[in-house]
Structures are given as C-alpha cells and as structure tokens.
Amino acid sequence: MPPAHDPSKQNAIDMAKARSTTSINVPDIRDFLYNGSAQWRRREQIVKILSTDPLFDKSQRVFASRKEQYIRGQALTNRLYGLQEIHKWSPEDATLAMSVVDDSLPIALHNVAFEPVFRLQASPELFSKYAGLIASRGILGCYLQTELGHGTNVGRLETTATYIPETREFEIDSPTLTSTKWWIGALGKTATHGVVQAKLILPGGKDVGPHLFFIQLRSLDTHKVLPDIIIGDIGPKALAGFAATDNGFARFDHVRIPKENMLSKFAGVTDAGEYVTPPHAKLSYGGMLYIRSGMVTAAGWLIAKGATVAIRYGTVRRQGEVGPDGLERQTISYPSLHVRLIPLLARAHVFIKLGRALSEGFDALARGLSSGDTSKLAEMHVTTSGLKVLVSTTGIQDLETARRSMGGHGYSAFAGVGKMYADYLPAATYEGENFVLDGQVLRAALKAFRALFSTTPRPAVTSLSPSSYYLRLLMDEKLVPPELSPESWKQPAAAILLLEWRAALIVHEIAQTIGAPDATATQRVSRAVTEAFVAPRVGEMIEALSTKLKQREAEVVKKLYLLYLLTTVESALVDLLSFGLFRAAPTGDPPRSRDPTRALRLAIAGLCGELLPQAIGLSDAFGFSDWELDSALGVHDGKVYEALWARVQHEPLNQTEVTEAYEASIKPMLLRGQRMAAKL
C-alpha cells in the first residue's frame, strides 16, 4: 500500500515553493543587514574556508564530553589563527572568523575582556612590553574579577594586593575560600596571564578599593601553574552550556608581582606607597560598556539563527488539520504559530541595526575618553545597561519560543536551538546581573526626573538626552496621550508615543511612591525607560529606510520594524492599561467586542500574516549556511527528516546492536521478573 504522498519528498517541495513565492530581493536585504555587499562577501568567503576545513566539522560535537569539547575548542582556535596566517587575514577578518564559530571558545575572553582592559588601562611602560604579545596571542589572558563569594559588588571583593615599598612589589593574596577567583573564562586550563581585580592595600593597611593588576599564571615553557597559585576548572555548566570554555578558579598565596604590573593608567601608587588619585574614576568602566554595546547586535544575530531554524521547520512540517492541498497544513500556516515566530524576525532586524548604531556610539565615546572627555559616559552607561537587560532577556525568551514552536522535535539536540539557548542563557547574569542593572537604570531615571523638576527655571526640552527624552511629556500640561483607533497601528507614531508616555508616567509614579516601592517596580521602570529609548530609534530607522533599500524591500523591512513596535506595545499592556493610556476606540468589525486590545492584536496578526509569504526569504537573508546553523530541522533544502535520520546514525548507543547494559543490568532484571512471574 503506497502512501498517498511521500512526506519526506514533500519537505523539499514545500521549501522550494516557499522560496519561490518570496517577493523580496533576498540579496538586497542581506546586504542591508551586513552593511554592504562587500562585508557579506568577505564573511561568505571566510565561512566557506572554515566550513570545509575538517577540523571545523560539527557532526560529532553533540556526542562529545565536555573535556573533549574543550580540547576540540583549543584545536579550532589554533587552526583558526593558522588559517589567518595562510590566508593573510587582517585582524578584522580573524574577528569575523571567530564570530562565525559557534563554540564557546576561551580565546574570546582574551579578545573581548583581557586585551581591551589591558589596552585601556595599562601604563605606557607595561603596554609597550606586552601589547604586541597580547595582540599576537603569544601570551593568553583572562580577566579575574568575580570571586566564589562575591559577584556584582566589586567593592566587596576579598582578594588583596598589598604594596611592599621595600621591594617595590605587590603581594596578591586570597585570604579565604570565598576570595577564590571563580567563573573566570579561560583560566581553568588555558591562560598564561591574567588581569586580576584586587583591593589595593597601602603601607599602614589602608584599603583604597579594587584595582587591576597584571599577573603571570602559568609557565610559558611548560604551561604548569606558577608557584603559590592554585588553579582549576570550576566544572560543567547548567544545560551543558559553554562546554568548550574552561571557566576556572584561582587562589593566590602571597604571590609577589613587580610594581610595574599594576594597570596604572588612571590610578597608581608612588614608590613610597602613596596613592595617586585617578582623574576620573569612571574611565575604568569603558571595558564593560564595550562588551555590553556589542551584545545588542549579537543578540539580533542569535535570534535570527533561532528564527531561521524554526521558520524553515514550520515551513516543511505538516501537522493537524487538512489543508486545501489535501495534506496536513504546514505548521507555520497556523496563526497561533506564526504570530509567535514572525516577531522574532522583527526583533532580529531591530537589534542588529540598533546595536550597530550603539557600537558606533561607543567608538565616539572611546575617542572622547582617550582625550579625557567623560561627558557622554553617563548616558552611554544607562543606555547600554538597559539595552543589555532588554536584549538578553528577549533573546533567551525568543530562542525558547523558537525551540518550543518545533514541538517534540525541538527537544532533540539535533534541532540545534537547545545549544544556542544553553550557551546564551548566562547572558542574563554575566556582564552585569540583569536585576542589578535594572536598579541602575531606575536610579538614572529618577535622577533625570528630579534634575528636571527640581531646577528653576525648568530646563529646555532640548537639554534632555535621548535616554530621558520621554520626560518632555511631563513638562507641558497641554500634552495628552494619543487617542487610539485601528488606524493607529498602521504607522509607528502612536506606538512610539505610547511607549514614551508609559515611561514618563511610570517614572512619575515611582518618584511619588519611592517611600513604599512595590517590589516589581525596578524591572518595570527599567523596561519602560529602555523601550522609550528604543522606540524612537526604530522610528528613525523607519524614516531612513527609503534611502537604504528599494521600495519593495523597504516596505517589507518597515513592516518588520512596525511589528517590533506593536509587539513591544503588546508586551507593555499591563502598564499601558494601568495608567489609562490605552484609550482605544472599538474596532467596529466584528461588533460586540469588549476588548480594547483587540485592534492591536488584530494588527499584529495582520502584519504577521502579511509577512508570512516573505518568511523564508527573510530567513535566507540572514545568510546562515547549514554549517553555521548546525540544525537538522533548519537545513536549507528543507529535507529535515533525512537530516535527522542521517544524524542518528552517529549516535554512540547505535554503534552496537546490544547495549553493554544488557548483560550487566537488563538481563538480570528480565530474569528476576520471569522468575517472579513463573511463581504466580
């Protein structure tokens, strides 16, 4: 009895059809996302080199133990820089190559934490001695801040660096178990050197707080750990995440380093042991801001990956009701599914572009900082803090949305999205724990509010920075929130204004009730303030589209950006409704709805429906190769069942017909049971 159709062959047919019905020019959107075709082509060349190199094969990775993944990761790293030599890649090319590797490599800590901190804060002498070695990875570094008992509160770190004027040395010491440096990426088995945060103790015992010190950890000849230091790996991470990174611990037992090893560009100690005050203490925040600003674009690309996999699978998976073609419907055709997935495309687009603007802002800030200009620092700090929370929270949720949209198969490791999630999850706690950052955003918002309303005469609207521009709404009593109608959701203005009003009213509310805060206020304010910053940026991005894309493509991207705004409004409904901002007229059609949010929800569903025929084209426009996605469910040709079948053949349990557990355990169990049954 032959089947009515072959669902496995149908996969490829469905995918080809979806691709052919896309009306956008995919390369145009792709080049737009990659900031030009030259950048895209460069990336494509590098991906091709890596993905065809046998060392970068991923087919066995999912079966590897953590130790094997660490060892493999080091081989990849060495090979990548070998390829850099062979192909004469620029440092930017090498960074690009590193960014397309989806293993959590320890070298990232050298590149993103150790080197920038060193470059920013080393004295000219230390810089000239080590900068070249660091840049060429002749030494490998890590950044030792967090301790076993101490995280975000740097002021409470226990590690000490005591200055010894007699020998012009610092003595680095871990006085307690809880002062053990912990979670330090690349420390466990890799790094030869590190920059360590320790509280500086001056002669006489005065503690002047945490400072940075450059220290050698392992021998450059044998890689053995240097005397009086205990180093190790802190063990596996939750969900098997970050497997290739050797997050490590270190204890120092009165280890002496020369005075020159203090990172003393902004603060130092005289030979006699007197503290030299830094000109601007905040200069040392630069490194953290750099990392956080990079997280916005990175989140966008990661959401793009999850969305690509889920949208491709939803295009070929058929399930449930029978559609007009007599087959079960493609799962993505169900509104309950695509209203969950299409907004991921929107957020990916927004975060990629927004993050790029932010990184450019950081570059301007860094240029200013190097000439002592700290005027933009506070604004950059609050923006990157709020955005870091927003994109990490959203990215984690979106990856899980993508995974769950794939039903049962989404729980297979071969789906690939689980690994993305496991590796991204710590983004909620690293580089500033999200709840702590929320508190900083709240404080900045209250400070801006008070500055505005306690100054006479009241400052001009033009004096407001972008991060507090929403406060203008409170400055003129004639301003009122927009009246909503179904038309409101067809353009960005109403959504942007609503999100700004929400921030203004919630900050006002918190300022009035600060004596008895409710416990959820911090998160709500932080989210509101950050979204009131992002929304006008998205409005500006919409304005600029016509200069960057042809009309048809610009219209599609505009819909994505608008969808971003509308889903943001939807996620803000509790606040908007609480503050009476959602003054919606009835939709009229169909009648008898009592739900004022209905028009918004229908507008979102409508946009998702309009974008649905472009979903495969938009996914393709992210430009991911099958090698990058490493997902049986996200294969470009749509043949997901064949891909799953091919992968299970590698499963170690399948290499013998009868499992080793049979003789040891299963057989005794069966025999016992048969004996018992016979007795009955």
Q: Which residues contact 90 (CB under 8 A, 6 or more apart)?
A: none
The verdict on 256 binding a second copy (CB under 8 A) reads no
Closest CA to 344 of 622, 647, 663, 45: 622
Q: How far is the CB of 176 from a second copy (least distance, A)?
A: 5
Which residue in the set 113, 140, 341, 615 belongs to the binding site for a second copy (CB under 8 A)? Answer: 140
The verdict on 190 binding a second copy (CB under 8 A) reads yes
Which residue in the set 28, 31, 33, 77 belongs to the binding site for a second copy (CB under 8 A)? Answer: 77
Residues between 378 and 407 that touch a second copy (CB under 8 A): 403-404, 407
Q: How far is the CB of 614 from a second copy (least distance, A)?
A: 18
* Structure token digits, residue 46: 């590098």
CB 213 within 8 A of CB 261: yes
The verdict on 92 binding a second copy (CB under 8 A) reads no
Q: Which is nearer to a second copy, 96 or 511 (CB)?
A: 511
The verdict on 148 binding a second copy (CB under 8 A) reads yes
Which residue in the set 149, 165, 368, 586 belongs to the binding site for a second copy (CB under 8 A)? Answer: 149
Crossing angle of helices 37-51 and 91-100, rounded to 10°: 60
Residues between 550 and 579 that touch a second copy (CB under 8 A): 573-574, 577-579
The verdict on 658 binding a second copy (CB under 8 A) reads yes
Question: If you search the block for the tokens 């609207």, which residue do you land on?
Answer: 461
Q: How far is the CB of 133 from a second copy (least distance, A)?
A: 5
Residues between 106 and 135 that touch a second copy (CB under 8 A): 132-133, 135
Contact mark string toward a second copy, 415..454, x via CB under 8 A: x-xxx-xx--xx-xxx--x-xx--x---------------
Q: Which is nearer to a second copy, 40 or 435 (CB)?
A: 435
Which residue in the set 333, 374, 597, 625 belongs to the binding site for a second copy (CB under 8 A)? Answer: 597
Which residue in the set 593, 613, 627, 637 belongs to the binding site for a second copy (CB under 8 A)? Answer: 593
DSSP per position, 493-552: HHHHHHHHHHHHHHHHHHHHSTTS--TTHHHHHHHHHHHHHHHHHHHHHHHHGGGTS-HH
* Contact region with a second copy (CB under 8 A), list: 22-30, 240-248, 534-542, 612-620: 240-248
CA distance 8 to 6: 5
Active site residues: 431
Q: Which is nearer to a second copy, 105 or 352 (CB)?
A: 105
Q: Which residues contact 501 (CB under 8 A, 6 or more apart)?
A: 470, 473, 481, 579, 581
Q: Which is nearer to a second copy, 249 or 290 (CB)?
A: 249
**What are the two backbone dihedrals, phi and then psi, of residue 449, each rounded to the nearest 5 degrees?**
-60, -45
Region of 516 on the Ramachandran plot (φ > 0 left; ψ -120 to 50 alpha; else beta)? beta
Q: Is 185 annotated as a binding residue?
A: yes
* Structure token digits, residue 599: 């028009």
CA distance 211 to 198: 6
* Contact region with a second copy (CB under 8 A), list: 275-283, 536-544, 617-625, 654-662: 654-662
* Structure token digits, residue 110: 């050298």
Residues between 260 and 319 that touch a second copy (CB under 8 A): 318-319
The verdict on 205 binding a second copy (CB under 8 A) reads yes
For 333-337, which contacts have Cβ atoms below 8 Å and span 24 or more sequence positions? 333/612, 335/605, 335/608, 335/609, 337/405
* Contact region with a second copy (CB under 8 A), list: 305-313, 350-358, 460-468, 645-653: 645-653
The verdict on 81 binding a second copy (CB under 8 A) reads yes
The verdict on 225 binding a second copy (CB under 8 A) reads yes
- DSSP 8-state code for residue 95: H
Which residue in the set 601, 613, 636, 637 belongs to the binding site for a second copy (CB under 8 A)? Answer: 601
The verdict on 667 binding a second copy (CB under 8 A) reads yes
Q: How far is the CB of 436 from a second copy (least distance, A)?
A: 8
**Cβ atoms within 10 A of the Cβ of 156, count?**
12
Buried b (16+ CB within 10 A) or exposed e, 118-151: bebbbbeebbeebeeebeebebbbbbbbbbbebb
CB 267 within 8 A of CB 275: yes
CA distance 596 to 599: 7
First CA to last CA across the chain, in angstroms?
Answer: 44
Q: Which is nearer to a second copy, 256 or 667 (CB)?
A: 667
Size of the site for a second copy (CB under 8 A): 169
The verdict on 594 binding a second copy (CB under 8 A) reads yes
Torsion of CA 116, 118, 121, 126, to 10 degrees: -150
Judged on CB neighbours under 10 Å (0-12, 13-18, 19+), 605 is middle
Q: Which residues contact 409 (CB under 8 A, 6 or more apart)?
A: 313, 317, 415, 633, 640, 644
Q: How far is the CB of 112 from a second copy (least distance, A)?
A: 17
The verdict on 233 binding a second copy (CB under 8 A) reads yes
Q: How far is the CB of 354 from a second copy (least distance, A)?
A: 25
The verdict on 90 binding a second copy (CB under 8 A) reads no
Alpha helices (runs of H) in 88-114, residue ranges in sequence order: 91-100, 107-109
Residues between 157 and 186 that touch a second copy (CB under 8 A): 158, 160, 162, 173, 175-180, 183
Which residue in the set 30, 189, 353, 558 belongs to the binding site for a second copy (CB under 8 A)? Answer: 189
Q: Which is nearer to a second copy, 36 or 132 (CB)?
A: 132
* Structure token digits, residue 615: 């979903």
Contact mark string toward a second copy, 501..520, x via CB under 8 A: ----x--xx--xx-xxxxxx
Q: Which is nearer to a second copy, 38 or 135 (CB)?
A: 135
Residues between 15 and 34 that touch a second copy (CB under 8 A): none
For CA atoms 114, 235, 401, 394, give the dihedral sign: negative
The verdict on 12 binding a second copy (CB under 8 A) reads no
* Contact region with a second copy (CB under 8 A), list: 115-123, 265-273, 535-543, 664-672: 664-672
The verdict on 54 binding a second copy (CB under 8 A) reads no
* Structure token digits, residue 587: 């939709």
Q: How far is the CB of 238 from a second copy (least distance, A)?
A: 3
Residues placed in the known binding site = 146, 185
Annotated binding site for FAD: 146, 185
